[in-house]
Chains A and B, each alone.
Chain A
């Protein structure tokens, strides 16, 4: 363990925590709570809050945990994996600390290291955080036991080492894990960015990785930390917002160190020693230790849970095929308590892949293999499906490592036989253990309920399960529970089973919550009071923990139907929603000479491959058996040889590789930015230049790039103006080209200049630009020729072109005519001109894409500008589109403010150049349609000239071959890009989902939000290629078909009522919301550009933002209380319940906040309490509130503070800062607000109830 801890990359550790999600999060949170408690009260407070609620709320969860447990143990046995994760992270960070520790014997070292992290945390739990943490724990059950269990848990995580060492100091390890959580925070903050990793051997690739990871802005690390915190939070019913967690973590980490003493006292003497050693090391290198701690934390959490319960119990639960693994873990954890029994169990666990693996490894000395690494083809363009591999079936592989073994009983086949036996076991355990805890914690769940957007919902369930069984575990995990109430309820049955069996068929278990039939017409409050989380795939705990975060990768069906026929029967869309370049705080970055990929299908090695033996692994996409290259046998994190399954690539479903020159077609390009600005009269009148130049001046130093960064400017009206900024000139030189029919570059070499060499000239130009054209009388706009010139300028390098346009292009190539008929704006019949008028922009975009140039469009227009045509320039070059209707810098200050904030984000966000993305999926599945901004270069290769963190993608899937041979399918996206620092990198996400054979299971696994987003994308395509009314009909049919299919096949209830499974209960509501969305609504006056922009957003927004656009969140904010509040950065953020979007929820006495994603509305009722108006808005009464108000004043009152912290918190969760509008009841602006109340009837559209009746009618037809 020690080795792993040392070697792990910080990034990896960060990553791990998210993956582990629930488990780690809970564990982390709990430890953090205690640890931080001394230092920061916030952390602990949160923990406490969360924990109790979780407990009380969902006993079921507990049960589920038991299921997880087994998995956990399995992992434990596999320890290397989990521990590795931890190790990686910790290792990276820890390196220094490790050095200290390393002197110890190898066996103990791991423990010692663990101790490290764990030691501190344990103390925290026990003593320091008594208030928060203990409080939480105590209610659950046994404080003492819990502590012990924690230790064991921790141990388990790291246990792999422990096991080998023969259970040395379990307890100590347990403590370390908790510490890890803290450590994470610290690491991320201080250690990560600044710390050098001297201790790492030069040879270690990981050490390098660490550095690379550091490259990321310091902010990111913080975020990541927060993430870890989040993950914990998530696990909790009301996960904390990531940002808060960050800060919080830091303090915690500190506390963690202090807590060491605590742990020491609690722990056995040996442990004490270890702990002390660690502490000593910590003192020497605080930052490093903290890192390690964090890593361990994620793992520890899980472990903690296990320990809580008696080991035997766990083992029984695990008894299922999958369970075998878990038992060992449990045993290990238990070891401290009862060491004798556990070892045997561990051995028994051979069923576990890892266990076997380990054994094998141990027995067989690592033999040098010829490196398997094939010649990596450039740009990953080579993809050949390896047919050969298919011949080797999972069953063929003797080793337990294979997926099948892993999956074990979880899958349907297994279920029939195993169901009876396993089911009982898990059930009792969970019940017993969880029951007490829930009762104690029950009150808090509601509070916790407010989850963050960030949370890793999927993880949570697993988490919960894991934690639930052990009582002691409860305290740490509890917070997670509360957050997940909805989930827990839905999946309890499934979770329990899965815990035992890995994944049971639904039938064997009591009907899962997600299948609970709901009579939609009689259920008045269909909308949950907390945000909806992504459902968690019904996998065994091991895989669940490793699975990709739903924020990056989601599938509309978390249970993949076995055949296309089954999918057709379900009438549900099958597809993926991706957010591949999301800002991540924790990302394992791997530097390795050989990137291990499948020889035939080129899949990157991932956590879901199976190792047949030490030297071979089987691809999980094409089933080919590949050799493990020699380099891969060495694990730099653990500095051990022969443990390929512990490598970070196999421990994390999201990793980033530093690519070698094999992945380059040319040397990595520098960051190149070109700004193409409209300076016609219209543009000058609108006044955007001032804002743009100001933003650029402010952010010039923050533009992503290295010393090679180049920048250029062009302006155009009826002519094109270039600016010579060559170094050495005394002032910028303007060159005018008036021949717009045959554009040429006057001085090609000096138009794009090095940002740093010509900075003064650039600043001069930016200062002068806003005033240069103030007296222009030129009204024409030659956008087309300007773009052609920009293309010529950019084509040698590629890069990013930012186009600012304020009117319809009226000169030269690409000129457009006004196509909108204002009288048709509210037509209910035909909406025309949704498609482009000319192919000029599309061709240009494809040219640009070929030269690795992306065009971003900022349209700031007061009149119709034919966005449908202009948008093509961005759509196919992988750019992004911003639209500011009626922009004017003084007349429309809210738009001006929005532009300013958007620009800040736009200019400083991460960017990847010359990117390609390839999506691979298990043989049998195929992708047929892609949505997003890109050019599809070949069947599964998306060409992205630029990639930005705010871009989302969707893919439609079909099942071409029956998936009867497999119980798991995997999807992998690989994004190859050049970072702004000129590094070639590959970001790989892998998602693993179970395959089911019954229709009920398919319905149980519907991810309704993902399905809605995919349907919205499909409807946009349909609107453009066919007609809007077709698209609307298709949307309605989607609900009608799926509900009628459900009613006729799965539900046994009478057909007179409109019945939906719980997993689909929001489906009609969301569809109605879509029909009332700007993109698809009819009958309401909608400007064509607004509609087209809404469609563009649907196509390229990631899911979380798109959902807010489709279905806004409504909160009542005049009575914010601290009940259920979360703590972020020392601030209390109230968490009001969600209200349904209906005027019936509005009262004249209240004030409501509507969060529409890109805009906030605060609606003030006529008889709103004057105290609120005075305290929050700063006006004496309702009448004196101005019509246009876009800011909340900073008043020194409690309610103002709460409202502002809540709004700030909502804002912090998204990339584009939303604009706030205060809407008075009676003001004309209120229609804007009311049109979002989608459950109400409007002149042109159904109310929600009417819509349900309509659906029912259609079904009965």
Chain B
């Protein structure tokens, strides 16, 4: 059972890593002016909810399977994702708003956030991998 949990987490984590990379690539495209803000934001906004769900699922799974350390590790990031999603002003077109992304260094902060998440997910990836192997051996 333990192994199943971690296999699932591992797969989920892989998806999140790919998503983070996609965010980084898209944002840097915008930075380099290869795509315009409108299409960049509509692309990214599509993936905000899947990312949020994917991450929340892992977090909840860890809680349910009583892996406290991993749960606590995931909690701040999951909370941030939800907070960010909820706090979008009613007039904005999503977490990424094409009219504001070039203002006040938003692009940079989005970029920074995506990088941090990538690092976090990589860390989690190896943690899950280790836990999975450990669980498989124990089985």
Q: Which residues of A contact B (CB under 8 A)?
A: 381, 383, 835-839, 842-843, 846, 850, 868-869, 872, 876, 928-930, 935-939, 941, 1021, 1025
B33 x A837 contact (CB < 8 A): no
Residues of A near B33 (CB, < 8 A) are 381, 383, 938-939, 941
**B102 in complex: contacting residue of A846, A868, A936, A1021, CB < 8 Å:** A936
Given A838-B90, A939-B31, decide whether A929 and B99 contact each other with a Cβ distance below 8 A. no
Minimal beta-carbon separation of B85 from chain A (angstroms)? 15
B103 x A930 contact (CB < 8 A): yes
Q: Which residues of B contact A (CB under 8 A)?
A: 30-31, 33, 36-38, 89-93, 98-99, 101-105, 107
Residues of A near B99 (CB, < 8 A) are 842, 846, 876, 935-936
- Report how many A-B pairs have Cβ atoms within 8 Å: 59
Residues of A near B37 (CB, < 8 A) are 935-938
C-alpha spacing A953/B45, complex, angstroms: 29
Residues of B near A842 (CB, < 8 A) are 91-93, 99
- Ordered by A's residue number, 23 sampled pairs between the chains whose C-beta atoms are within 8 Å are A383-B33, A835-B89, A835-B91, A836-B90, A837-B91, A838-B90, A839-B90, A842-B93, A843-B93, A846-B38, A846-B99, A850-B38, A869-B91, A928-B105, A929-B103, A929-B104, A930-B102, A930-B103, A936-B99, A936-B103, A939-B31, A1021-B104, A1025-B89
Residues of A near B107 (CB, < 8 A) are 939
Residues of B near A837 (CB, < 8 A) are 90-91
Given A383-B33, A876-B99, decide whether A839 and B38 contact each other with a Cβ distance below 8 A. no
Minimal beta-carbon separation of A535 from chain B (angstroms)? 28
Residues of B near A876 (CB, < 8 A) are 99
Instruction: Identify which of B30, B89, B102 gathers the most chain A CB atoms within 10 Å of its CB.
Output: B102
Minimal beta-carbon separation of B95 from chain A (angstroms)? 13
C-alpha spacing A935/B100, complex, angstroms: 9
**B91 in complex: contacting residue of A383, A872, A930, A935, CB < 8 Å:** A872
Residues of A near B90 (CB, < 8 A) are 835-839
C-alpha spacing A869/B105, complex, angstroms: 24
B36 x A938 contact (CB < 8 A): yes
Residues of B near A835 (CB, < 8 A) are 89-91
B103 x A928 contact (CB < 8 A): yes
Instruction: Identify which of B38, B90, B91, B105 gathers the most chain A CB atoms within 10 Å of its CB.
Output: B91
B102 x A938 contact (CB < 8 A): yes
A935 x B98 contact (CB < 8 A): yes
Minimal beta-carbon separation of B101 from chain A (angstroms)? 8
Residues of A near B101 (CB, < 8 A) are 936
A839 x B91 contact (CB < 8 A): yes
**A838 in complex: contacting residue of B30, B91, B104, B105, CB < 8 Å:** B91
B38 x A836 contact (CB < 8 A): no
Instruction: Identify which of A383, A929, A938, A941 gathers the most chain B CB atoms within 10 Å of its CB.
Output: A938
Minimal beta-carbon separation of A1018 from chain B (angstroms)? 9
Residues of B near A383 (CB, < 8 A) are 33
C-alpha spacing A941/B33, complex, angstroms: 10
Instruction: Identify which of B38, B99, B104, B105 gathers the most chain A CB atoms within 10 Å of its CB.
Output: B99
Residues of B near A846 (CB, < 8 A) are 38, 98-99
Q: A836-B91, A846-B98, A938-B30 are in contact. List 6 more A-B contacts (CB 8 A).
A: A838-B90, A839-B92, A850-B38, A928-B103, A929-B104, A937-B36
In the complex, residue of chain A having the shortest beta-carbon distance to the beta carbon of B107: A939
Residues of B near A850 (CB, < 8 A) are 38
C-alpha spacing A667/B60, complex, angstroms: 57
In the complex, residue of chain B having the shortest beta-carbon distance to the beta carbon of A839: B93
Residues of A near B92 (CB, < 8 A) are 839, 842
C-alpha spacing A850/B36, complex, angstroms: 11
C-alpha spacing A1025/B92, complex, angstroms: 11
Residues of A near B91 (CB, < 8 A) are 835-839, 842, 868-869, 872
C-alpha spacing A383/B33, complex, angstroms: 9
In the complex, residue of chain B having the shortest beta-carbon distance to the beta carbon of A850: B38
Residues of A near B30 (CB, < 8 A) are 938
Residues of B near A843 (CB, < 8 A) are 93
In the complex, residue of chain B having the shortest beta-carbon distance to the beta carbon of A381: B33
C-alpha spacing A516/B90, complex, angstroms: 49
C-alpha spacing A842/B103, complex, angstroms: 16
In the complex, residue of chain A having the shortest beta-carbon distance to the beta carbon of B92: A839
C-alpha spacing A930/B100, complex, angstroms: 9
Residues of A near B89 (CB, < 8 A) are 835-836, 1025
C-alpha spacing A957/B116, complex, angstroms: 27
In the complex, residue of chain A having the shortest beta-carbon distance to the beta carbon of B89: A835
Minimal beta-carbon separation of A169 from chain B (angstroms)? 56
Given A381-B33, A850-B38, decide whether A939 and B93 contact each other with a Cβ distance below 8 A. no
C-alpha spacing A838/B92, complex, angstroms: 8
Minimal beta-carbon separation of B30 from chain A (angstroms)? 8
In the complex, residue of chain A having the shortest beta-carbon distance to the beta carbon of B36: A937
In the complex, residue of chain B having the shortest beta-carbon distance to the beta carbon of A868: B91
C-alpha spacing A835/B91, complex, angstroms: 7
In the complex, residue of chain B having the shortest beta-carbon distance to the beta carbon of A846: B38
C-alpha spacing A806/B38, complex, angstroms: 31
C-alpha spacing A938/B30, complex, angstroms: 7
In the complex, residue of chain B having the shortest beta-carbon distance to the beta carbon of A1018: B104
C-alpha spacing A674/B93, complex, angstroms: 27
C-alpha spacing A843/B90, complex, angstroms: 13
In the complex, residue of chain B having the shortest beta-carbon distance to the beta carbon of A833: B90
In the complex, residue of chain A having the shortest beta-carbon distance to the beta carbon of B94: A839
A939 x B38 contact (CB < 8 A): no
C-alpha spacing A846/B100, complex, angstroms: 12
For the complex of A and B, the 6 pairs showing the least CB-CB separation, nearest first, are A836-B91, A936-B102, A938-B33, A929-B103, A839-B93, A835-B91
Minimal beta-carbon separation of A960 from chain B (angstroms)? 11
Minimal beta-carbon separation of B12 from chain A (angstroms)? 30
Minimal beta-carbon separation of A855 from chain B (angstroms)? 14
C-alpha spacing A928/B92, complex, angstroms: 20
Given A835-B91, A842-B93, decide whether A928 and B98 contact each other with a Cβ distance below 8 A. no
Residues of B near A869 (CB, < 8 A) are 91
C-alpha spacing A1077/B107, complex, angstroms: 32
C-alpha spacing A835/B97, complex, angstroms: 14
Residues of B near A937 (CB, < 8 A) are 36-37
Residues of A near B104 (CB, < 8 A) are 928-929, 1021
In the complex, residue of chain B having the shortest beta-carbon distance to the beta carbon of A843: B93
C-alpha spacing A836/B99, complex, angstroms: 13
C-alpha spacing A839/B91, complex, angstroms: 4
Minimal beta-carbon separation of A132 from chain B (angstroms)? 54
C-alpha spacing A381/B34, complex, angstroms: 10
Residues of B near A936 (CB, < 8 A) are 37, 99, 101-103
Minimal beta-carbon separation of A113 from chain B (angstroms)? 48
C-alpha spacing A196/B104, complex, angstroms: 51
In the complex, residue of chain A having the shortest beta-carbon distance to the beta carbon of B99: A876
In the complex, residue of chain B having the shortest beta-carbon distance to the beta carbon of A1025: B89
C-alpha spacing A935/B105, complex, angstroms: 16
Minimal beta-carbon separation of B84 from chain A (angstroms)? 14
In the complex, residue of chain B having the shortest beta-carbon distance to the beta carbon of A936: B102
In the complex, residue of chain B having the shortest beta-carbon distance to the beta carbon of A930: B103
C-alpha spacing A930/B104, complex, angstroms: 9
Instruction: Identify which of B30, B31, B98, B107 gathers the most chain A CB atoms within 10 Å of its CB.
Output: B98
Instruction: Identify which of B33, B93, B105, B107 gathers the most chain A CB atoms within 10 Å of its CB.
Output: B33
C-alpha spacing A850/B107, complex, angstroms: 21
Residues of A near B98 (CB, < 8 A) are 846, 935
Instruction: Identify which of B101, B103, B105 gathers the most chain A CB atoms within 10 Å of its CB.
Output: B103
Minimal beta-carbon separation of A940 from chain B (angstroms)? 9
C-alpha spacing A937/B30, complex, angstroms: 9
Residues of B near A381 (CB, < 8 A) are 33
Minimal beta-carbon separation of A1237 from chain B (angstroms)? 35
Minimal beta-carbon separation of B44 from chain A (angstroms)? 15
